[in-house]
Amino acid sequence: MRYYDHLIFDYSKSGRCGYTLPKAAAPEVSTAVPEGLRRASAPALPEVSEVDVVRHYTNLSQMNFGVDTGFYPLGSCTMKYNPKINEEVAALPAFAAIHPLQPVETVQGVQAVYAGMEQMLSAITGMAYFTFNPCAGAHGELTGLMIMRAWHRSRGDMGRTKVIVPDSAHGTNPASAAVCGLDVVVVKSNADGLVDVEDLKPLLGPDLAGIMMTNPNTLGLFERDIKQIAALVHEAGGLLYYDGANMNPLIGKVRPGDMGFDIMHLNLHKSFSTPHGGGGPGSGPVGVAAFLKDCLPYPHTEGQQDNETTGSSAGCTQRVDLLTCGPFDPQKTAGRVSAHMGNFGVILRAYAWLLTIGRQHVREVGPIATLNANYIKELLRDAYKLPIPSVCKHEFVFDGLINDGAREGKEGATTLDVAKRLLDFGFHAPTIYFPLLFHQALMIEPTETESKETLDAFIDVMHRIAAEAAEDPDILHAAPHACPISRPDDTTAAKHPVINWADLQAE
């Protein structure tokens, strides 16, 4: 049996014991527990030595794949390395041991982090204020749309219920609009993959709440007409929402605020180096233009810094006096979107990253991420179909293998097969079958944290897999060959994971 087939209970030997303690000098007080609450028999704990425990759990931990174990080019997810100094800062007791209901005078350092972070993100995005309450990107979208709706309502403009979303948008955009109770209308892309301004015009009217976009768009193309789109939407009384989940290539280069956007979210757990995956804590702060300040959700820190001076580094280090949760106007605020002030530990890690990397080097993040993506794209286009051949941003899409090995009596290798085979070589699979525009999509995003050597190793393996496919696609159909489990049913694995002993016993 392999170690991963074992449970810690399998190692149990009656009477084996990791530790013994000397008999207590104090008298036993078991009578302090009322009779009815006492156990009839001892709990069925495994009886194991310390080394059994350490080996078992260390081995299990190595069944996980993460950015700390290997290259993770999961497109659209920005799986960049999470620097360990972020973890050290987040673990400082002054941050880790606080309580959200503690008197505000005792958490001035925390307030200074929120203030400094608001200032840095405002400088990066061209927004005036940020709320840190949303706990994920999609949560940020919902919050942003609630702000949009709150603004229209605060002006007595109750009929604005329509949100325009391009056909290339990330699936969360229309989903968030629907959850917010708004009606989604799709605007078409033109032949160049950009929002079709002529198709947009007839959609603008007194029922328009706003438009949700991202630029560069989901295909990595820059919406050249963004200024005109912004003017048209504003003229019609609508607002512009920017999906900033994929801000990585733009940081320090382009600001959504300058393009005319009024509201946006960021994914700190993508572009700002905090860990993510598996549904763990995230952070989707939402930035707004100055005129939307009263529509922000509460609580919101107040009096932190002069937002007119975004871009000065002073706010990151200056003492911030007695910040309280600012007053809010119930007629204007979008309301409450989470308990307290969001996932502070995540915000703190992103703050540590920004301070570590600094104003100067943060400008290099986007260009290096972009260079890395283009490097892989150019060196693999001889083996994989490249539907959009132009220079890409931080990620790009292949549409399956050029030679998938299909022939008489043999089915060709698919994108799923390539993804599974990569696991045998110690690489995480790219994003597959997204975007939906292509049938065999493989979306690759290397990020800026990977060395040329790592990229070259990945490129070699991708070529080797292409050669295997051409020769005998069955090698790929049966992959992965070297992983603990091969091909679980995706839906069952996600919806009904068997993760505890009792369930395993019941199987």
Ligand X SMILES: *Cc1c(COP(=O)(O)O)cnc(C)c1O
Interaction of residue 310 with ligand X, rule CB under 6 A: no
What does DSSP assign to residue 54? Answer: H
Nearer to ligand X, 172 or 372 (CB): 172
Calculate the alpha carbon distances from 22 to 30, 41, 60, 84 in Å.
18, 23, 33, 39
Sign of CA dihedral 468, 470, 474, 478: positive
Supply angle C-alpha 251, 253, 257, rounded to 5: 80
Binding mask 380-419 for ligand X (x = CB under 6 A): ----------------------------------------
> Binder to ligand X among 118, 223, 243, 448 (CB under 6 A)?
243
Dist. CA 126–CA 113, nearest whole Å: 19
- Binding-site size for ligand X (CB under 6 A) equals 13
Interaction of residue 440 with ligand X, rule CB under 6 A: no
Nearer to ligand X, 267 or 310 (CB): 267
> Binder to ligand X among 245, 268, 289, 443 (CB under 6 A)?
245
Interaction of residue 282 with ligand X, rule CB under 6 A: yes
Interaction of residue 468 with ligand X, rule CB under 6 A: no
Closest distance to ligand X from the beta carbon of 441 (Å)? 14
Dist. CA 307–CA 461, nearest whole Å: 49
Calculate the alpha carbon distances from 471 to 74, 398, 410, 462, 465 in Å.
27, 20, 11, 14, 10
Closest distance to ligand X from the beta carbon of 248 (Å)? 10
Closest distance to ligand X from the beta carbon of 137 (Å)? 2
> Binder to ligand X among 73, 116, 137, 297 (CB under 6 A)?
137
> Binder to ligand X among 267, 274, 414, 447 (CB under 6 A)?
267
Dist. CA 309–CA 119, nearest whole Å: 9
Contact 342, 133 (CB under 8 A): yes
Nearer to ligand X, 80 or 170 (CB): 170
Binding mask 347-376 for ligand X (x = CB under 6 A): ------------------------------
CA 21 to chain CA mean position, Å: 46
Which residue has its beta carbon closest to ligand X?
137
Segment 56 to 85, residues that bind ligand X, using CB under 6 A: 76
Nearer to ligand X, 137 or 400 (CB): 137
Burial class (CB in 10 A: 0-12, 13-18, 19+), 60: middle
| Cβ atoms within 10 Å of 293's Cβ, excluding its own | 14
